[in-house]
Structures are given as structure tokens and as C-alpha cells.
Amino acid sequence: MSAPQPKAGRPRNPALDQAILAAAAHSLGELGYARMSLESVAAAAGTTTPSLRRRYRNKAELVAAVIGSLRVVEPPAAAATPRAHALAILENFHDNLRAGPAMAILGSLLAEEGRHPELLESFKTRIVEPRRALLRKALAVGDFPASTDLDVLTGMLIGSFYGSYVTLAGIPDDWPGRVLSAIWPPE
């Protein structure tokens, strides 16, 4: 048997891959999905549209790659107490969504939900749901009454982040501690 032949052409440049994703994230956050173009992303990344299209067939595929590339620091697996763990998860959520253009990207994805629901689903799957599940688990071991609806409580905690974002004051740096203290005061 013969050995497989290497693919023709130059290998992809990882620096260019990163430049394309950074340019696309910036464009998506600044212009939104509808106004973002492959041509403008290619120009901002210092490449050509054909080079970009060899990596991503269309704008939706490029945006999916941007979502997949968002800097997401994993939350800690545990902490000294259940409350400290819940706080660490909220701090992680806070830090991840405030890093880079994540909130602007989310706004664009919400605007495109009717045409490209898979993109918003990807954002939820990558950023929101893993933290939501961990937070629910941390709350489950808290000293809450048995009748507490942990899904509602989790939604209230995470939803307050988005609620704060759209107010004039914005999201304060101490949001994680303040919001958790409203339902689970420190001991």
C-alpha cells in the first residue's frame, strides 16, 4: 500500500485563522450580523475573500466559528462551601460575558434568531447553559426550603445580569456578590 499523499498547497496559517476570527468578532459586535460581510472581514483580517471562503463557506459558518472561539474560562469545579461555589460560578459568568464583544455579539444573535436560530443556540450551549447547570447544582445543596424552584432561582440570578446590562448604571463589578446575597446571604 502506498502512503497517503499530502494535500496540495500551503498549510493554513494559524495566525491568519486567528486574525479572521478576531475581525469577524469585531465586525459582528460593531455592525451586527446583517451588516457584517465576508469581504469586510477578509479586508480587516488582511486577507482575501477567497482565502476566507476556503475556511468558511458562508457568514453563518463564520459566525458559528466566532462563537466557538469566544474566550470562555471554565468555572471552578468546587469551592470551600456551596455558597462560595455559587458565587464563583456567577463571577465566571460575569467575567466571560464582559470579555470582548460577547454582549454585542449576543445582541446581534438575538436580532437574527428568526433567520439563524442555530447561532443563538450555539451561544447558549457554549456560554450560558454550562454555567446555568453548574449554578443550579450549587444552589441544590444550599439551605433553601424544599419548595424552592431552583430553575426559577437560577434564571433570576443569571437574568439579573442581562437586566443590569440594559440599565443606565450597567453591570457593576460587584454584581455576582450582590445578586447572590439577595437570595443567599453570607453567613
Answer whether residue 3 is part of any domain: no
What burial class does residue 103 get, using C-beta atoms within 10 Å of its C-beta: 0-12 exposed, 13-18 middle, 19+ buried? middle
Helix (H) or strand (E) holding 93: helix 82-98
| Domain-located, residue 1 | no
Is 177 a member of any domain? yes
Q: How many domains does one find in the chain?
A: 2
Q: For 13-22, what is the mean pLDDT? A: 92
Same domain for 176 and 86, yes or no, is yes
Higher-confidence position of 12 and 5: 12
As given in the structure block, the three cell numbers for residue 119 are 447561532
DSSP category for residue 147: T
Whether the per-residue pLDDT at 55 is higher than 90: the answer is yes
Does any domain span residue 90?
yes
Q: Is the pLDDT of residue 170 over 90?
A: no
Asked whether residue 175 is domain-assigned, the answer is: yes
Residue 42 has a pLDDT of 97
In a shared domain, residues 52 and 130: no
Whether 72 contacts 96, CB under 8 Å: yes
Task: Tell me the longest C-alpha to C-alpha distance in the chain.
Answer: 70
- How many residues would you count in the chain? 187
pTM for the whole thing? 0.78
pLDDT for position 5: 54
Assigned domain for 5 exists: no
Give the closest residue to 66 by CA, choosing from 131, 113, 19.
Answer: 19
Identify whether residues 178 and 95 lie together within a single domain: yes
Query: Residues 145, 149, 154, 159: what is their CA dihedral angle, to the nearest 10 degrees?
Result: -120
- The domain that holds 39 is classified in CATH as 1.10.10.60
In the prediction, which pLDDT does 95 show?
A: 86
What is the residue range of 47's domain?
14-68
Query: Are both 92 and 160 inside the same structural domain?
Result: yes
Return d(Cα 49, Cα 33) in angstroms, integer.
17
Non-local (6+) Cβ contacts of 83 within 8 A are 138, 142, 180, 184, 186, 187
The answer on 123 and 175 residing in a single domain is yes
Q: Which of 46, 68, 90 is the last residue of a domain?
A: 68
